[in-house]
Structure 1
Amino acid sequence: MSAFQTPQKANYDVVIIGGAMMGSSTAWFLSTNPDFDGSCLVIEMDSSYVNSSTAHTNSCMRQQFSNELNVRISQFAADFVKNIREYMGGDTRVPELDIQNYGYMYLADNDGFANVLRENQQVQLAAGAETQLLSAQEIKARYPFYSVDDVVLGSINLKDEGYWDGGTVFDWWRRSAKDNGVEYVTNRAVAMNVEGGKVRSITLETGEVIECGQVVNASGPRGALTAKMAGIELPVEPRKRFTWIFSAEQPLDQDLPLTIDPSGVHFRQDGPKTYLAGGPPEPEDDVPVDPNDFTMDHGRWENHVWPIIATRIPQFEAIKIVTEWAGHYAYNTFDKNAVLGAHPEITNFVFLNGFSGHGLQQSPAMGRATAEWLVCGEYRSLDMAPFGFERITSGHTFEEKAII
């Protein structure tokens, strides 16, 4: 844990609680907004970020969502990644990045899920994605290494879908935001003073009381804890997810798409000769965990994940774990979609929460949208109103079906 620091001032126009991917995206977009000339403080409890969701991400991007808004959010992410230097003012220090477009391969083993893939494809095509539906025979012709005896239908998109370097984007957002005057401190928010429908101040663990014009909850899996300081119940909880990097005795001779097996286990290319696999605990064990719990379930690989991988790709009968880790989804139990924008009653408390595993790829659009809200009181680029907190209080879900 990093040593705590004291903010330079006692009053800020915007205070962002959480300095990882979402917090830094918001800070950067805010700092580059020509209509914002105020002060911004980012409070991050651990500036090493080693236990953040950003550090534990599998860093992928896809267009294959079930609602159009999520497709368009990822389309902006793809444009941002591919043109990051231009977005950052042509700074030649900023590296030129791209997306490794091996695509996501969804596999359906029953007619019900096949119909979901067909419905999702129509949404995706209407938004400009290039999703293709493949029969088992067509999958086998393109990717001979798969076993497809149980497959009814597959879905894949090879445009702006695959791996991207989220770590580099995060580093440059943070670095550039600081260059633009955003102050980052290592500290922890422990209390909020709410009066007259606004958060008036935030108390830090080191004792300082910081007054704020607006506060952004970018606390990842701890988002509900931050909301609770303002007396708000937020249906977001840390859910554990496991990742393994493995090598194969017989590597494939073509890139492995990010394959979503009907079992829920997923696996993809990770390097020239290594692969990544991920998955949740057993359904009965997929419960909220302590935000500090990163314990691996070592039996999960041997008893569940590896047999599924070897069955789907017989060439992976002999594989070896290189490294493994546990991370957390900021899981929205209400509808598995983001919660964004201001609270309807505590009007300067702004949500940036509940991304349920697809937050990294949504961070460019969500940071831009949050900055627009903070400066203009409305969304200017994409209308993010469907993500508003009001849907939770009214009980109207905005569900995303394509959750991995």
Structure 2
Amino acid sequence: MARYDVIIIGGAIVGSSVAYYLRQEGFSGSIALIERDPQFTHSATTLSCASIRQQFSIPENIRLSQFTLALFRRLEQEFGEDADIGFREGGYLILAGESGLPILRQNHAVQLAEGTDIVLEDADALKRRFAWLSTEGISAGAFGRSGEGWFDAHAMLMLFRKALRHKDIDFLSHSVTGIQRSGNRAIGVSLDNGESIEAGTIVNAAGPSAGKIAALAGIPLPVEPRKRSVFVFEARDKFADMPLIVDPSGIYVRPEGNVYITGGAESEDGEEPADPSDFEPDWPLFEETIWPVLATRVPAFEAIKATRAWAGHYDYNTLDQNAVIGPHPEVGNFIFANGFSGHGLQQAPAVGKALAELLVHGAYRTIDCSAFGYERIAEGRPFRELNVI
């Protein structure tokens, strides 16, 4: 039976980041990276709308994204000449009505304390900054003047995957069907081809399937897939200064080359886990919910043409919509990197770095992820992120 010092379940951006930084931190043991969808056709990574922000409600999430932002600014130094993910630093504009203004102000204070370049402006100031924007029902907005934007998710993933080819990583294209335990240790993994492999440490980086993977080890984890549809539309008017706008309704829109993408109309109230095989966009959301909001917020969008759409799955943490990072308090060699609830792509490199430091050095060094530990899950104690988009 084969044995690996570290088995990482999930080979998209989170799992690949863990493997990459393990080698960067000097880990010389054997590593297996297991991915059931090696083309990443249905991966949460490649089906996301691929953006990065610092507008979170808690400092720890801001710090994770700041690490990734710093990586974006030195891609060629990290991955070699011509490394490019098409990062467009267009900013986020998060809008609030009167009822949401206290939270927006509170979040903005946290963001400023973390050194972000985010300004809070009232409706009149926003109208002067963005002449095409309607501020109907808007009291204020927080705008990231730098350090926020969008990029090519597939290109980012491929940078990591290409780098791993030269780092002595074994890529296994399988599904995990079982996890073996001996007391308080996870000792092995069963694969869909009938084989089993022994493990020194297991890292759960399985995205929307993370809850099911944890259950195979007899560990409860409140992470489940939630479907999110993304719609592409054309409009006659082009706004070169348009950031990613988040309406108070939760609906977002941003430019993508000569078109626009939008989404965010799903309601979390009473929402059920997604069928893992369901990747059909919910077109009624666009026609009935999104389009009216877009036309109100940007009057030029009263006349638009939807051209295509896709759907992906969030790894949704039902407890607090926040990541679960680090070891299980009893099964200490079972490591979590799960439950990002929509912001995993932008935070994956930071989480990979943090977990690599923990596994190699026995402690977090660059970013302290203790607040994201599993202990709060066991205690049912939410560590809630308010800015979930």
Match runs of 1:306-317 below 5 Å:
306-317=291-302
Match runs of 1:324-363 below 5 Å:
324-363=309-348
Q: Which residue of structure 2 aligns with residue 403 of structure 1?
A: 388
Aligned residue for 1:373, secondary structure, equals helix
Say if 2:208 and 2:225, in contact at 8 Å, map to a contact too.
yes
Q: Among residues 227, 230, 233, which one is paired with 2:217 in the alignment?
A: 230
User: How many angstroms does 1:173 deviate by?
Assistant: 0.7
Match runs of 1:140-155 below 5 Å:
140-155=127-142
Q: Among residues 95, 98, 107, which one is paired with 1:120 in the alignment?
A: 107
In 1, Cα distance between equivalents of 2:15 and 2:241: 33
User: How many angstroms does 1:155 deviate by?
Assistant: 0.8
Corresponding position: 1:165 with 2:157: no
Aligned residue for 1:240, secondary structure, equals strand
Say if 2:46 and 2:153, in contact at 8 Å, map to a contact too.
no
User: How many angstroms does 1:392 deviate by?
Assistant: 1.2
Match runs of 1:245-260 below 5 Å:
245-248=232-235, 250-260=236-246
What amino acid sits opposite 1:308 in the alignment? V
In 2, Cα distance between equivalents of 1:77 and 1:325: 26
User: How many angstroms does 1:99 deviate by?
Assistant: 3.3
Aligned residue for 1:56, secondary structure, equals coil
In 2, Cα distance between equivalents of 1:96 and 1:48: 20
In 1, Cα distance between equivalents of 2:251 and 2:231: 11
User: How many angstroms does 1:282 deviate by?
Assistant: 3.9
What amino acid sits opposite 2:63 in the alignment? R
Q: Which residue of structure 1 aligns with residue 263 of structure 2?
A: 278
What amino acid sits opposite 2:207 in the alignment? G
Corresponding position: 1:21 with 2:13: yes
User: How many angstroms does 1:283 deviate by?
Assistant: 4.4
In 1, Cα distance between equivalents of 2:228 and 2:342: 9
What amino acid sits opposite 1:328 in the alignment? H
Q: Which residue of structure 1 aligns with residue 25 of structure 2?
A: 33
Say if 2:208 and 2:313, in contact at 8 Å, map to a contact too.
yes
User: How many angstroms does 1:285 deviate by?
Assistant: 6.2
- Compared with structure 1, are the counterparts of its residues 300 and 24 closer, same or farther at alpha carbon in structure 2 (3 Å cutoff)? same
Q: Which residue of structure 1 aligns with residue 33 of structure 2?
A: 42
In 2, Cα distance between equivalents of 1:98 and 1:302: 30
Q: Which residue of structure 2 aligns with residue 156 of structure 1?
A: 143
Q: Among residues 76, 101, 117, which one is paired with 2:89 in the alignment?
A: 101
Corresponding position: 1:268 with 2:254: yes
Q: Among residues 84, 101, 107, which one is paired with 2:75 in the alignment?
A: 84
Q: Among residues 288, 307, 323, which one is paired with 1:303 in the alignment?
A: 288
- Compared with structure 1, are the counterparts of its residues 227 and 131 closer, same or farther at alpha carbon in structure 2 (3 Å cutoff)? same
User: What is the root-mean-square deviation in Å for CA atoms of aligned residues?
Assistant: 1.4
In 1, Cα distance between equivalents of 2:181 and 2:143: 48
Corresponding position: 1:219 with 2:210: no
What amino acid sits opposite 2:157 in the alignment? F
What amino acid sits opposite 2:230 in the alignment? T
Say if 1:105 and 1:156, in contact at 8 Å, map to a contact too.
yes
In 1, Cα distance between equivalents of 2:381 and 2:43: 30
In 2, Cα distance between equivalents of 1:83 and 1:167: 18
Say if 1:258 and 1:269, in contact at 8 Å, map to a contact too.
yes
Corresponding position: 1:69 with 2:60: yes
User: How many angstroms does 1:284 deviate by?
Assistant: 4.9
1:213-247 C-alpha deviation (Å, 9 max, x unpaired): 00000000000010001000100111111101111
Say if 1:99 and 1:161, in contact at 8 Å, map to a contact too.
no
Q: Which residue of structure 1 aligns with residue 370 of structure 2?
A: 385
In 1, Cα distance between equivalents of 2:211 and 2:268: 22
Q: Structure 1: any 5+ residue segments left out of the alignment?
A: 1-8
Q: Which residue of structure 1 aligns with residue 2 of structure 2?
A: 10
User: How many angstroms does 1:32 deviate by?
Assistant: 2.0
In 1, Cα distance between equivalents of 2:388 and 2:267: 16
User: How many angstroms does 1:114 deviate by?
Assistant: 0.7
1:24-53 C-alpha deviation (Å, 9 max, x unpaired): 11111112222x110100110110110010
User: How many angstroms does 1:19 deviate by?
Assistant: 0.3
4+ aligned runs moved over 3 Å, structure 1: 96-99, 282-285
User: How many angstroms does 1:179 deviate by?
Assistant: 1.2
What amino acid sits opposite 2:342 in the alignment? G
TM-score (norm. length: structure 2) = 0.97
In 2, Cα distance between equivalents of 1:282 and 1:339: 23
User: How many angstroms does 1:96 deviate by?
Assistant: 4.4
In 1, Cα distance between equivalents of 2:194 and 2:145: 51
In 2, Cα distance between equivalents of 1:394 and 1:301: 39
Say if 1:266 and 1:278, in contact at 8 Å, map to a contact too.
yes
1:145-182 C-alpha deviation (Å, 9 max, x unpaired): 11112111111112110112332221011111121111
Q: Structure 2: any 5+ residue segments left out of the alignment?
A: none
